Amino acid sequence: MTNKTIVDYRNDPLIKGPCAIVAYAQRENGKRPAMEYIEGLGRSEWAKLAKSFMKIAHVGKIHNRERFRKLRGKIYEFKVYPKVRILCFQLGKTWLLTHGFGKQTGDTPPRQIERAEAIMKEHISLLK
């Protein structure tokens, strides 16, 4: 028997479509950093993010690199201009949002990618 919390993101998706599901990744402490970040966004930023989430859920891909791109390994980035970034990874048909941040300049900071990788590892460990 384990004392770990069982995570079933299929019962708590942000958006569910015919091609994919968009949900929040969970840390071992139960927190969902992407949810906390997104809840703090303004209506305009949330609407732009929701449009991208709907597209990936209903089409399965976003071809516009200005809105969605692979960063490193299994980590991808949803982008809303001018500065909102949400990092994520994919498990099967599900895109799990790790966290968000306000990008200031240049490329995505390596520490943000490392944070996404850490959240991904924690989330996957909860599924075992």
52-68 pLDDT, tens digit per residue, is 999 999 998 898 988 99
**13-127: what fold?**
YaeB-like fold (3.30.2310)
**Strand (E) or helix (H) holding 42:** none
pLDDT in tens, 84-93: 999 999 999 9
Residue 37 gets the label, from left (phi > 0), alpha (psi -120 to 50) or beta, of alpha
**Strand (E) or helix (H) holding 36:** helix 33-39
N-terminal to C-terminal alpha carbon distance within the chain: 12
pLDDT band at 12 (very low <50, low <70, confident <90, very high): low
Question: What span, in angstroms and rounded, lies between the C-alpha atoms of 128 and 125?
Answer: 6
pLDDT band at 125 (very low <50, low <70, confident <90, very high): very high
More confident residue, 103 or 96: 96
pTM: 0.88
Phi, psi of 106 (to 5 degrees): 60, -155
More confident residue, 97 or 65: 97
Q: Is the pLDDT of residue 1 over 60?
A: no
